A and B are shown apart, each in its own frame.
Chain A
Amino acid sequence: RRSSDGEPAKFQPPPKPVIVDRQRQREERRFLSPEFIPPRGRTDPLKFYIERKDMIQRRKVFNIPEFYVGSILAVTTADPYADGKTNRFVGICIQRGGKGLGATFVLRNVIEDQGVEICYELYNPRIQEIKVLKLEKRLDDNLMYLRDALPEYSTFDMDMKPVSRLEHEEVPVNKLQVRMKPKPWSKRWERPKYNIKGIKFELPEKKMQEAQKWSQPWLEFDMLREYDTSKLEKKIWREVNEELKK
């Protein structure tokens, strides 16, 4: 190769390789389990601090993985009345409730055409293992409407294999729109107070507009209902991480 001047071409060093710092990417993706965030109230913060110490102590001995509402989990508990003394249940997490040590999650599955929901406590010492078979999020925080949806959306194989995923990938959001059984439902899910985005409503337009009568558009502007947890979350996340590393 010769340049226009006729002199030999200057040595061009190869382009620098782009180093993807996996550690920093992992740290940027922070996940704090929702039961660590204290509710708004007049309780002494010392009580939450003491509870957090107990929760961290339990997490050091027993691994509680990161999971969201909509992920499929397998939980084995110690049961004195079962043979083998353990009881394994696989299901989709439909709800995460409670704060502190009493935090719970509800798993749902359909076994032999019978819907079964079991509410487990995260910090119960009888739980031997919590395994995440498929980690994903859904469009809603509360999937109680699966009770009124067609049973195919709640059936999961008891011997399901765990779905592999890369460490630093973002948690996938399943934008599935679920089809419902004919009305009546256990709750009027079309009403705006539940704010459900994961149902494919096949109701006539008139019914949908009638449901909007119960909307409360002033709620999002109500300042007394605001509870900004960002600073609290950062502080608690730092504290929890430091303790867990020890």
Chain B
Amino acid sequence: MMPIWTKSGEKHAVTLLKVQDCHVLKYVPKEDSDGKTAKLFVGGKNVSPFHKTEAEMAIFKEAGVPRKQKISVFKVTDDAIIKPGTPLYAAHFRPGQFVDVTAKTIGKGFQGVMKRWGFKGQPASHGQTKTHRRPGAISTNKASKVYPGKKMPGKMGNIYRTSFGLKVWRVNTKHDIIYVNGSVPGHTNCLVKVRDTKLPTYKDCNKNPPFPTFFADGDEELPEDLYDEEVFQFTDPSVTYA
């Protein structure tokens, strides 16, 4: 995480996400995916091809791509279909876009009810016998049962969670890094799924993105760093209020 300053002098915290060897693995057409949209399988970081069965390696062989650590599914409209085997780069996202980031949260293990659900617990003194962090009552007398889904102690973390509506401030095309506003679930160097926002407030914000994706062998020559209009670039002189 890094600070980033705007031209008006405000500071925002930014998370760096690296796009490491992403390839499109498989295309599933509308009818097969039992829905109204087609599906695209995308694979992340490269790992060793050993320690995997032949059946699992079949997808990678068909696409002609080394084995990936994580495969995620993206629901895509018919005009955005990409051929399996194309690499995906960070320039797919442009500064000024809004993005949702999904990842597995940091696992905290078996945790009590105060940490897991934010219960208040009981006072530390004034006669409390052996009761300081317990849940207290779990149901009423009339119900005479405990409702399913009651908040109780258990394994906390290590589940998929999404942060919605994160602005992309800057994209580094040389090292394939996306600078995303705010924090992102997961520990440092964990695998993350980045997708265009589903929030209705930012529906009109994604103007002219590279569609269906940014192709590296195309005619477009991008500069090494793409900045949003409001971002203060370090090549400029210091900010002044005239």
Residue numbers of A with Cβ under 8 A of B are 41-44, 46-47, 50-51, 54, 57-58, 61-62, 78-80, 85, 100-102, 121, 123-128
| A-B residue pairs in contact (CB < 8 Å), sample of 20 | A42-B189, A43-B188, A46-B18, A46-B175, A50-B175, A51-B2, A78-B239, A80-B9, A85-B241, A85-B242, A100-B2, A101-B3, A102-B3, A123-B3, A125-B5, A125-B9, A125-B238, A126-B9, A126-B238, A128-B240
Q: Are A61 and B189 in contact (CB under 8 A)?
A: no
Query: Are B3 and A61 in contact, CB atoms less than 8 angstroms apart?
Result: no
Binds A, one of B38-46, B102-110, B228-236: B228-236
Given the complex, which residues of B lie within 8 Å of A46, measured CB to CB? 18, 175
Residue B123 CB within 8 A of the other chain = no
Shortest CB-to-CB span from A62 to chain B, Å, is: 6
Chain A residues within an 8 Å CB radius of B172? 50
Nearest A residue to B7, CB-CB: A125
Q: Does B177 contact A (CB under 8 A)?
A: yes
Cβ–Cβ < 8 Å partners of A42 in chain B: 188-189
- Is there an interface contact between A61 and B237, defined as CB atoms closer than 8 Å? yes
Interface of A is mostly: mixed
Q: Which residues from A are CB-within-8-Å of B18?
A: 44, 46
A50/B16 contact (C-beta < 8 A), A58-B234, A62-B238, A126-B239 known:
yes
Is there contact, CB below 8 Å, between A79 and B238?
no
Residues on B with C-beta less than 8 A from A61 are 234-238
List B8-23 residues whose CB lies under 8 Å from chain A.
Answer: 9, 11, 16, 18
Give CA–CA (A54, B16) in the complex, Å. Answer: 14
Alpha-carbon separation in the docked complex, A58 to B235 (Å): 7
Distance in angstroms from A149 CB to nearest chain B CB is 32
CB-based nearest B residue for A80: B241
| Contact across chains for B235 and A43 when beta carbons are under 8 A apart | no
Shortest CB distance B107–A (Å): 16
- The contact of B177 among A41, A50, A79, by CB within 8 Å, is A50
Residue among B172, B232, B239 with most chain A CB within 10 A: B239
Which 6 residue pairs spanning A and B have beta carbons closest together? Answer: A57-B234, A80-B241, A58-B234, A125-B239, A126-B9, A85-B241
Chain A residue nearest to B9 (CB atoms) is A126
- Chain B residues within an 8 Å CB radius of A54: 234
Question: Within 8 Å CB of A43, what residues of B?
Answer: 188-189
Docked complex Cα distance between A61 and B233 (Å): 11
Cα distance A42–B172 when bound, in Å?
Answer: 22
Other A-B pairs, 9, CB within 8 Å; known A50-B172, A125-B239: A43-B188, A44-B188, A51-B2, A54-B234, A78-B238, A85-B240, A125-B238, A126-B9, A126-B239
